[in-house]
Amino acid sequence: MSASGVSRRQWLRSAFGLAAAAALPAAGAPGERLSFANPEGGYRFLPGNPVFAAGAVAEPGHAFVRAWLRRWLPLEAGFDAIRRHLLAEDRPLRALAGIELRMPRQLSQEEFAEFNHPYVERLRDWDLLIEGFNPVSRTNVVPAAFEPEAPSLHAFCYSVPLAGAARGFVMSGMTEAGPSGVVAGGDVSGEGMRRKLTQVLTLVTRRLEELGVGWADATHIDIYSAHDFGNALGVLMEPALGAALRRGIRHHHGRPPVVGLEVELEARALAREIML
């Protein structure tokens, strides 16, 4: 079924799992949305949908490490690398909190659903689900150049014990899609990109509030787009991010994984980064 065969709202729900997310209990104040403990993993997570969690916050005495690969690995080999690394670090599989993927091209909603099924089954096989919810956040990006030949692992985040660590968090990348549709759909003009950026800033700010953290807690901020924002990055992000801008923003030349989306934004608070 194509996007033209259903309403835009139905298409979005199917493609991005918004139906599952909308079914979660909602709280009345920021930071109070229902979260679940992952005691073995050392973090609490906010459910998103069956494919990925909304985000996670390290429990006291724990922090997050991001391991990124010098060379991307096809997904199956990537999962093996994650398992081996966690074993070498004496960390359980449930310490895995985030996965970052690189895709060969943008996918239709049907292709995206087909891709997600074995991915979720792998997490299920590893017994990662908590009370039926997926605790692992995810970012998918299609590089605008030098894309991989197959879906590949770019990086992953996991928890480690660390006394006295600042509060760490990870989250899934968020796009300009929302319950009412894709903001400025098909419009990659300067004005269109400004509207898209405004949307993702609003959504990520709200997500951070739900996690009980803020931009000031972030050590890493990443934005993905293949189109020019003009001066919108400075005009919009400076008042939104405030002092978090002292650490800079990493701008990746790429797109979200589903056709019709152009911007993805995420933030993390890490204790350290390592290269594998």
pLDDT digits (tens, 9 = 90+) for 211-245: 999 999 999 999 999 999 988 888 898 888 888 88
Please give the sequence-ordered ranges of beta strands (E in DSSP) within the chain, or none if there are none: 36-38, 43-46, 55-58, 62-74, 96-102, 137-143, 152-161, 169-171, 174-175, 177-178, 181-182, 220-224, 250-252, 254-255, 264-268, 272-275
Q: Which of the four pLDDT bands, split at 50, 70 and 90, describes residue 37?
A: very high
pLDDT value at 27 more than 60:
no
This prediction's pTM: 0.89
Percent pLDDT > 90 in the chain is 79
Average pLDDT, the chain: 89
pLDDT value of position 33? 62
